[in-house]
Chains A and B, each alone.
Chain A
């Protein structure tokens, strides 16, 4: 390997197959991708790992002599492959046998004229994980972790291997995390503000590792307090202003974390975050009987949530814990049944689980497998939790059942838990911010309607109604954000159901026929769509005593009655009328505003205010 820039291998791209030659299973051409951007032929193969100590189990390799390419069970470097038509065989032979192109970067593995995969695009649109081993391109697949691809003249063969628990060193979690942090290739640690990230940063600081904690700060009122608290907890944390990164659209599924991307773009080193640690350690659900241990851990002990209906008012000595189900975001109505059916592709379960694994180990390994598949779409973010020492420590703790499930939190400094919102909520906030900034303009809304309206995945009428209503727009923000991202990456959404899915072909017209009114604006049937009552002219309005207007992010305003413990969300225009000029010609006011004004008067929290004597009726 010779490179004038002293670059190090970060990937490879190659082709196997074709006509067999003596002493080899087929032609093999492999190039190494170097960190400086150069390429160099790889004669003897390549073994890659994101960790500096290259532990067993994390290697991604290619062997031109044997015609193999593979990923070990915890390999974070992805491999994409596609079968190519063999020019040396007759046309009667099935296309693609015996010749394969592979690469660690998706763009390098794309065959000429690659078309988007309809199933993958639909999964992107709905926010579902990409059905493994699919990629967003037809005919291009991702090699699963723990598998080996062999190419011979007869075709390609994939062998699957589960995780060998024997090479996972068990032990305490703290030294395992420090070992993983020390083995990171970069010098930065992306601190998202969550407890897991803070734990990693705290361990790196106490262990004397040369890792700089980096936090991607955004200029949002909602998250400004998080930056302030991080300054208190991590005085040496480097804060980055990443407001620009928040305006970009994700380019690939899973690439929707502006924090990690901004932290990674700030330097030439790879960032590491605590996302994976939180995911793996929280993968174990709460079995019966752990209430006491959780109570002693002090983590979820005092979580106050709505109790189950049948327990309301019933005394009990046992603490009740809310189900650990992920926050559910109902999909928007503006997506048709065709889009939902198109995303129902085959999803391969992980094969990494050993046969003798218990239920908790299975659950955690399944989460590890999901993290490994996600690594292909993350912006080059190594996850220190996928170091074999950390996995071994987590699994051995599970097997021994020692300590609380969230015991890793005890590794960090005191009182660092309640700092950051969960990842799903942050993603929703990101989408809400983007939608508020980019889809509030009617011209942008019309452009989105023009672009998406031709597809039978979208109901144009419902989409128009969603875009025009600020509250509905905010509630559907994640879906709208994904719709814009998908339309940017793939400008032509399918106008027909995907081929090969008969159910979608037949269900699409049925769905259209079953809901004929969904594409039309339902304002005509709205019982509240009545002429508003007459209002006095030129009146200044004010809230009654005890009512406070509480502005919220993204333009919403709450009218709060502290005395009677009630709150109502009011129209931002009405709030501006109350707090702004306060004088309005109610005859010329828009009808929705007049209706809301009349409703507020009827509800009793708004009243006419006496006009100041200094400027009587002068604005009429």
Chain B
């Protein structure tokens, strides 16, 4: 269980950082091991979702509303600072209806699948949005890079 002060400090540390600085922090940080999986989806993921929600609230209290790219980048940095294997992913709509092609950003957590028939496989799970980005968006870039 992460205490509130730690969450706030994780956001405060990067509250003035721009997107390039946040991405540099993502790629230069220490490696994080994937979360262990659990039966029926993994309890570890639920904890990360709760922490992400709390971080998002603090982020908007401290930094205000910003674009989705910076919000996701700051969330990923804060999660990695708390020890979670977070990754910022940028993707695009495969069939755009407007020009230029829209891009989207979200945060993934590396998690070892368990209880679903593919035990032991590292499955990235989205924690920053409820949109079905993993089955729809085409990944353009990720920070740090995905390990295939």
A residues apposed to B, CB below 8 Å: 193, 222-223, 225-226, 229, 231-233, 235, 295, 298-308, 311-317, 319-320, 327, 329-330, 413-415, 417-422, 425, 428-429, 432, 471, 474-475, 477, 548, 550, 552-554, 556, 558, 560, 562, 564-565, 567, 569
Contact = CB atoms under 8 A, between A and B. Distances in A.
A226 B53 CA distance: 26
28 contacts: A222-B138, A295-B53, A298-B49, A304-B106, A306-B67, A313-B65, A317-B57, A414-B40, A418-B130, A418-B131, A418-B133, A420-B135, A421-B135, A422-B132, A425-B95, A425-B136, A428-B95, A429-B95, A475-B96, A475-B97, A550-B138, A552-B92, A554-B95, A565-B19, A565-B20, A565-B69, A567-B140, A569-B101
B64 A313 contact: yes
Contact of A474 (B61, B96, B118, B130): B96
A302 B132 contact: no
Interface in B95-148: 95-101, 103, 105-106, 113, 116-118, 125-136, 138, 140-141, 143
A471 B130 contact: no
A161 to B, nearest CB: 39
A552 B94 contact: yes
A311 B99 contact: no
Contacts, number: 157
A212 to B, nearest CB: 18
A555 to B, nearest CB: 11
A560 B92 CA distance: 12
B135 A302 contact: no
B53 A553 contact: no
Contacts of B141: 548, 550, 560, 562, 567
A312 B66 contact: yes
Contacts of B61: 315-317
Given A307-B66, A317-B61, A475-B97, 7 more contacts: A301-B53, A304-B105, A304-B128, A418-B135, A475-B96, A565-B69, A567-B141
A575 B50 CA distance: 43
A429 B94 contact: yes
Contacts of A418: 126, 129-135
Contacts of B136: 222, 421, 425
Contact of B64 (A229, A235, A299, A315): A315
Interface in B44-102: 45-46, 49, 52-53, 56-57, 60-69, 71-72, 90, 92, 94-101
Contacts of A302: 49, 52-53, 56, 127-130
A565 B23 contact: yes
Contacts of B113: 232
Nearest to A296: B53
B41 interface: yes
Nearest to A328: B97
A312 B67 contact: yes
Contacts of A567: 90, 92, 103, 140-141
B117 A232 contact: yes
Chain A CB within 10 Å, residue with most, of B19, B105, B138: B138
Contacts of B49: 298, 302
B97 A419 contact: no
A414 B125 CA distance: 13
Contacts of A313: 64-66
Contacts of A429: 94-95
Interface in B1-39: 19-20, 23
Contacts of B135: 193, 223, 225-226, 229, 418-421
A475 B65 CA distance: 30
Pairs A-B, 9 closest by C-beta atoms: A307-B65, A414-B41, A315-B64, A421-B136, A304-B68, A415-B41, A232-B116, A432-B95, A553-B94
A72 to B, nearest CB: 36
B65 A314 contact: yes
Contacts of A420: 132, 135
B130 A300 contact: yes
Contacts of B132: 417-422
A468 B63 CA distance: 46
A126 to B, nearest CB: 15
Nearest to A430: B95
Contact of A330 (B52, B92, B97): B97
A346 B53 CA distance: 47
A315 B134 contact: no
B68 to A, nearest CB: 4
Given A232-B116, A312-B66, A420-B132, A569 B100 contact: yes
B97 A329 contact: yes
Contact of A303 (B19, B101, B105, B129): B129
B124 to A, nearest CB: 11
Contacts of A233: 116
A235 B117 contact: yes
Nearest to A471: B99
A316 B60 contact: yes
Contacts of B131: 303, 418
